[in-house]
Chains A and B, each alone.
Chain A
């Protein structure tokens, strides 16, 4: 399959994530949209890794392996971010009993 399909799919998923972050008001849903963005990137990296492998495997047997390794690092970092992010959301819920980000306008005054 040509690489274009993968790029379109990944970029479409990424754009759904971005649109979600910009329009939704619920902190958890925003959070899920950010995860969607990260996973779209994972998909893109794996596809590019395979592409580089096909192009270069004749000369370099390990070509394209970096991309797949990167995916694991993104997963680990995303997990760390989730743990901190959910803790922040819980802390906020305890104080305000709401996870609506419209609440965040208070600081401007």
Chain B
């Protein structure tokens, strides 16, 4: 509850801070203070101190959602610390950008803790609507305009599908309820109704749209390419993983008992996502577009959690959220500073900017899933979860093969930086603070890779009761 309230209030504070001051440094520090407060509020919630508001069970707080919140807030904090200055260059309305980011975080806090389909819908919309604005925030840039319009049309279309799915599930439920754990009341008799299955599939499709799973991914590269790079970083990491946490909650609590009926669809979507994401990423010329496709491919791995739906997959989901988020934020932070977004733009970067090249290498290795970086354990937990559930062994093998393909395009960047000569240079000389933050991000990735229990131990440490 704390995080929902704090993020909404701080969003308004940020809006007013834009009225009272034009000083961008003050605005940035206000946002950082807000994010720290948000994180502190969430941690207080985890150990039992929270504002007592009767939500009539519409929100359900558990360690999984709380830890997901914490990961989202820490990632946002890191994003603002490492790329806050680049946000200033997007446009004049810095305070409003931060306000929108806080409103997105409010939606994130709802999506990680919803207990009814109503709250799921509201949370997804509170996330989406500010993102449409952030995507189009570079108003003079035609690419940004197009990305915003495309994202908006696709987003509201998928919202329509989600609403039809919710309405059909409501009609199929025996006692007229939106509570996700009551949808199944009435047992298998409910699940055989075509209305239940149609509603479930529509929800699957619309959530697939939101997390850019394969047949519904076509908007992702264009939107990620067109949006200002700072906000692409925000969308591809924090927003995506928190919608994934909601996705897992929905299908575990709401449809866990009827999993025999829908798992085959998820398996097909996962296989398609892994295949299309990885194969298309190989052929990209722009690193930003490659990262968009790689985020589709990583979504394929996160979808494995939806197939397994056990304790291991929940751990894997959180680890994946943290590791993928931090590594991708780091890569985008370096990318923003580059003059040229193509692979050639990175040629010879290692000679000019050894710190940037070294940290970038760690992030890329982590995304590829090389041992000693967090990405390895994240992928390992996901695969282990599916193996433990005992079904879909072919998908595990397929996922490993796809991960092998992904090594090719991640290593292309590393090869360009270290083994090619060129002018690879940044727009301005990066400051010590920026380099220091990159080293911190890289350290987080390595620590999670060597000792994932730092994070996962928290799952068991806070037995949450509301």
Q: Which residues on A are within 8 Å of B, measured CB to CB?
A: 3, 7, 10, 14, 17-18, 21, 27, 30-31, 34, 37-38, 40-41, 44-45, 48-49, 51-53, 55-56, 60, 63-64, 66-67, 69-70, 73-74, 77, 80-81, 84-85, 87-89, 91-92, 95-96, 101, 103-104, 106-108
Contacts and interface: CB of A to CB of B under 8 A. Distances in A.
A37 B125 contact: no
Interface in B144-191: 145-150, 152-153, 156-157, 159-160, 163-164, 166-168, 170-171, 175-178
Given A66-B176, A95-B140, A41 B149 contact: no
A84 B155 CA distance: 12
B446 to A, nearest CB: 36
A37 B229 CA distance: 32
B370 interface: no
A27 B156 CA distance: 13
Contact of A92 (B133, B149, B160, B163): B149
A108 B224 CA distance: 12
Interface string B121-139: 1100100010011001001
Nearest to A63: B176
Interface string B185-207: 00000000000000000000000
B150 A104 contact: yes
Lowest 6 CB-CB distances: which A-B pairs, in order?
A52-B176, A37-B160, A48-B171, A41-B163, A44-B167, A107-B222
A40 B125 contact: no
Contacts of A10: 167
Contacts of A96: 142, 145
B226 interface: yes
Contacts of B121: 70, 73-74, 77
Contact of B118 (A38, A73, A91): A73
A21 B238 CA distance: 29
The listed residue with most A CB atoms (<10 A of its CB), out of B139, B170, B226, is B170
* Main secondary structure on B side of the interface with A: helix
A9 B106 CA distance: 36
Given A34-B156, A81-B125, 6 more contacts: A66-B118, A77-B125, A84-B133, A106-B146, A107-B147, A108-B222
The listed residue with most B CB atoms (<10 A of its CB), out of A7, A31, A52, is A52
A88 B149 contact: yes
Nearest to A6: B171
A24 to B, nearest CB: 11
B435 interface: no
Interface string B233-254: 0000000000000000000000
A41 B167 contact: yes
Contact of A48 (B156, B175, B176): B176
A19 B226 CA distance: 27
A21 B140 CA distance: 27
A107 B226 contact: yes
Contacts of A55: 176
A103 B167 contact: no
A25 to B, nearest CB: 12
16 contacts: A3-B171, A21-B153, A27-B153, A31-B153, A41-B166, A41-B167, A45-B170, A56-B176, A66-B118, A66-B176, A70-B170, A80-B129, A81-B159, A88-B145, A91-B136, A104-B149
A101 B153 contact: yes
Contacts of A30: 153
Contacts of B152: 84-85, 88
A77 to B, nearest CB: 5
B129 A84 contact: yes
B344 interface: no
Nearest to A43: B167
A48 B167 contact: yes
Contact of B177 (A45, A66, A91, A104): A66
Contacts of A41: 160, 163-164, 166-167
Contacts of B133: 84, 87
